[in-house]
Chains A and B, each alone.
Chain A
Amino acid sequence: MNPEELLEIAERIVGWGRDGEQVEAVVGHSQETDVRVYNAEIESLSVAESQGVGVRVIANGRQGFAHAGTLDPDVLAETLAEARDNAVFGSPDEFFGLAEPDGVAKAELDLYNPALMDVSTELKIDLALELEQAVRAGDPRIVGVESADYGDAVSADAIATTSGIRSAGRETSCYLSAYSLASEGDETQTGFGFSVAREPSALDVGVAATDAVERATRMLGATQPPTERVTVVLDPYVTAQFLSIIGGTLSGEAVLKGRSLFADRLGEKVAAQTVTLVDDPTNPEAFTASDADGEGLATRRNLLVDSGQLGCFLHNSYTGRRSGGASTGSAVRGYASTPGVGCQALALTPGTQSPQELIAGVQNGVLVQGVAGLHSGVNPVSGDFSTGAEGLRIRNGELAEPIREITIASTLQRMLLDVQAVGSDLTWLPMSSAGVTLVVAEVTMSGT
């Protein structure tokens, strides 16, 4: 369905609002194709169409919400009725309210590429097969490809409110990804690689395959090193995951609810001079770019950390209003939930040195190529940071033996202050933060 049809549905629901009632309707629709190949055969081919609606009602200072996984006309009215009934039971809050048009113009972004629609299923399958073949052929030690996937999606959404918001848009996306198995003797190691784009001809099979091969093979022979304090060089993909956690601590919701490390620190130095952190969903380079946020307001560039100094927090309409300011266009959500607050396209301003130059400057360190358990070992409230990791030793400025079964630990506060350099290799990834090589000193590496 196109965005206009979805907006028409959202407007219809909003039109059913009663006097004294604020109503917001979010409508989404997507079409997806996923191909997985294994041993040069198609393992599965899925085609899917999904749609849904979420309705938020605010009445008498209370909020209620309901959602449904269909756009069936009968269900729309039921969903509104359910949200209305739910609103009776919430606590009153003077700051509840929908977004209101704020005059900020939407960025011109080209997120929809109709070329995707003309791509045959055969070509999609061929891309996945080609990727699997390329990974297998990449190194004799590659003994298997656990999965090689192609996926794409065309998604559209629309939002309308009784406060005058009207927003609709659509985008296309596709990806290739592979998980590889490398083996030597009794030992097996794994690696992954991927490529993302707006349409298939922009996908890079070579990059995805090379990464999958290299990540797995270079870990062969890895051992567990002794515990010591080292400088870590984070691979771009690891940095992006680290930034996502930092981004969460800068949410206005965390600040207002006493869950942010950085509450009361606006204007203070919270990071090394070299750290400038920007959330900018209007950047067309970002795969997560978007002209509108989850409440239908124009997205905008927010300077979170400026040369180490804490610049601002992110807000949706509720947290903006409650903190005495306004939304920063940072509402994030799907149709099945009320808007939260979050980063949409977070990136460090890149430095001048390439990853090779950065590694050359490290005497005793670790190149961290992968982390595990970030969701369990990092506490964004206390700042305790501990994660499982694997990678390569750095000795006298050169990459050395692979190591595994280590953890790296510090606190989020210390790590930001201990950033030594940001690489020049900014890479946009299929997640809400960008990757770049990052050098952090004084991290505890636990091993034997």
Chain B
Amino acid sequence: MIDESVVTETLAEALKTGGDFAEVFVEDRQSSSAVLDDGKVEELSSGRTRGAGIRVVVGDTTGFAHTSDLSPSGLARAARAAAAGARGGSGTTNVVGLRQVQAASPNKVGVLPETVAKGTKVDLLNRADDAARAAGAAITQVSASYADGRRRILVANSDGLLASDDQVRTRFAVSCVATADTGMQTGYESVGRPIGFELFEEYEVDALAQTAANRALTKLAARPAPSGAMPVVIGPGGGGVLFHEACGHGLEADLVAKQASVFRNRVGDQVAHSEVTLVDDGTMAREWGAFAIDDEGRPAQRNVLIQDGILTDYMWDLLRARKEGRHSSGNGRRQSYRHLPMVRMTNTYLANGSNTPADIIAGTDKGVYVAHLGGGQVNTATGDFVFGMTEAYLIENGQITEPIREGNLIGNGPEVLMGIEALGNDFAMGSPGTCGKDGQGVPVGDGTPTLRVAAMTIGGTAA
């Protein structure tokens, strides 16, 4: 993207007035998307963004500047601005000669989306629209979206690191509205992988559209969700976001260091049922949060966070790890060159347990079965979290019975971890997600087997 000599000069410029560390992050992103709504392909849209973010660290202070001007003079200007932001330092740090970090991507791209005819992408949307509408006369509206992106990054820093990655992502989503005299309901389904257009060899858009349509149709007959605390069974795949919120965020080292996590000072403690093993794995091939290097140039890693119920480690980025005299765990990520990196999850999942899903459901006298979850949110300092149930059913006498309307599910991370009482053997990854933290969104994956939590609070309106 830019010459190595320009990178070296930019780092030298960044450290000219002193500093402990400097980094150049260059990003070239191109994207294309198309949206169908109301029976029409509204438009195709393409985007191109290119730029560099430069940071300089002096003591505990980071100066940051970014620019879309990738010329040597543009980069030098940004480097000086970042250095000024770091408020100068004493002494000078020499930039070590750059060494290329080799990291193989876990994701093999078959067909680069930019080589696919626009008309072919548009056809997918029309097929999804037809399939969703064919799912039932009550389907009154359909929206479908196709999106692909290619993000090429280069990272170099004053420790001599030079690394690059070429990240391709392709995604498809369908959203339906079903209408009856009970009102309107919605259903949604999405798929995405860090691969190219061959995504559609694995997934038929017709089937995705039918799934979305069926979710909306099912809910037309749904009863109001119950209210209050009760046992909750979460289906395979669908529950990953629970652990992303319930404990994932609380295991991010930056929040831990600021006393903003209920999991601070808990490494070595039993924090969950002894069958619980929680992993964050950026190397998980073809999953939404996988990459070769993170946005600080560190190769992706598989990190075990909770082993057999014992908290083993937090997730780390470069700066937080440097302070502790250890290595980053490959969790330093950023939304774009316009953002500073921070500790972020990749693919976070709960490993298989030993029960069959059928036994878990049959062993639940009265509760709620959540097949699909929407987004969630957590307060890491208190551990209180919330997330939406987009497809859920009542469990009565050990059987899944009627569908219930949408509502939020709330709980407390540490309590829910301890409250996992049965873990299934049917692990699956969930839908591609975007995790938001401090205003930045990054792609993440999550997964779980079927599991039961002794009690969570269902936020419905029924008694």
Chain A residues near B (Cβ < 8 Å): 38-39, 41-52, 56, 62-70, 72, 75, 78-79, 82-83, 85-91, 93, 143-144, 146-147, 179, 181, 188-190, 224, 226-227, 256-259, 261, 336-338, 372-373, 375-377, 379, 381-384, 386-388, 390, 404-411, 444, 446-448
Contacts and interface: CB of A to CB of B under 8 A. Distances in A.
Contacts, number: 277
A413 to B, nearest CB: 9
B270 interface: no
A75 B48 CA distance: 9
B322 to A, nearest CB: 14
Nearest to A379: B406
A106 B293 CA distance: 50
Given A91-B40, A409-B225, A444-B461, 11 more contacts: A42-B87, A43-B61, A63-B43, A65-B46, A258-B179, A259-B177, A381-B177, A381-B184, A382-B183, A387-B459, A407-B408
Interface string B218-243: 01000001011100000000000000
A321 to B, nearest CB: 15
B325 interface: no
A332 B124 CA distance: 28
B51 A373 contact: no
A45 B85 contact: yes
B66 to A, nearest CB: 5
B45 A66 contact: yes
Nearest to A407: B459
Interface in B369-413: 374-377, 379, 381-382, 384-388, 405-408, 410-412
Given A65-B43, A144-B258, A190 B381 contact: yes
Contact of B457 (A41, A70, A224, A379): A224
A143 B259 contact: yes
Contact of A50 (B59, B338, B410): B338
A130 B358 CA distance: 58
A48 B337 CA distance: 11
Nearest to A48: B66
B181 interface: no
Nearest to B141: A258
Contacts of B122: 89-90
B47 A68 contact: yes
Contacts of B461: 386, 409-411, 444
Nearest to B410: A388
Interface string B30-43: 00001011111111
A447 B463 CA distance: 12
A372 B459 contact: no
13 contacts: A44-B85, A46-B340, A49-B66, A51-B68, A90-B41, A190-B382, A224-B457, A227-B228, A381-B185, A387-B386, A388-B384, A446-B459, A448-B229
A306 B350 CA distance: 51
B457 A407 contact: yes
B312 interface: no
Interface string B165-195: 0000000000001010001111000000000
Nearest to A370: B379
Nearest to B259: A144
A382 B384 contact: no
A86 B258 CA distance: 48
Contacts of A375: 375, 377, 388
B97 to A, nearest CB: 28
B118 interface: yes
Contacts of A190: 260, 379, 381-382
Contact of B407 (A44, A70, A261, A377): A377
A261 B184 contact: yes
B86 A45 contact: yes
Contact of B118 (A43, A65, A78, A89): A89
| Size category of the binding interface on chain B | 35 or more
Contact of A444 (B85, B86, B140, B460): B460
Interface of B: 34, 36-51, 59-69, 81, 84-87, 118-119, 121-122, 140-141, 143, 177, 179, 183-186, 219, 225, 227-229, 255, 258-260, 262, 338, 340, 374-377, 379, 381-382, 384-388, 405-408, 410-412, 457-461, 463
Contact of B44 (A48, A86, A373): A86
Nearest to B64: A46
Contact of B42 (A49, A85, A91): A91
A382 B185 contact: yes
B408 A373 contact: yes
Max count, chain B CB within 10 A of own CB: residue among A144, A383, A386: A386
A233 B28 CA distance: 48
Given A47-B85, A69-B68, A382 B184 contact: yes
B117 to A, nearest CB: 9
Q: 7 closest A-B pairs (Cβ-Cβ)? A: A407-B459, A376-B388, A388-B386, A377-B408, A69-B49, A373-B386, A86-B44
Contact of B40 (A41, A93, A407): A93
B50 A381 contact: no
Contacts of A386: 225, 388, 406-408, 459-461
Contact of A46 (B65, B219, B375): B65
Nearest to A188: B381
A315 to B, nearest CB: 15
A381 B87 contact: no
A45 B377 contact: no
Contacts of B65: 46-48
Contact of B260 (A64, A79, A146, A387): A146
Nearest to B227: A446
B183 A383 contact: yes
B377 A372 contact: yes
Contact of B81 (A47, A63, A68): A47
B382 A45 contact: no
A407 B379 contact: no
A91 B64 contact: no
Nearest to A38: B258
A179 B379 CA distance: 11
A197 B94 CA distance: 42
Nearest to B460: A409
A407 B227 CA distance: 9
B41 A44 contact: no
Nearest to B379: A190
A381 B338 CA distance: 34
Nearest to A35: B85
A407 B386 contact: yes
Contact of A66 (B47, B140, B377, B387): B47
A386 B390 CA distance: 12
B142 to A, nearest CB: 10
A65 B38 contact: no
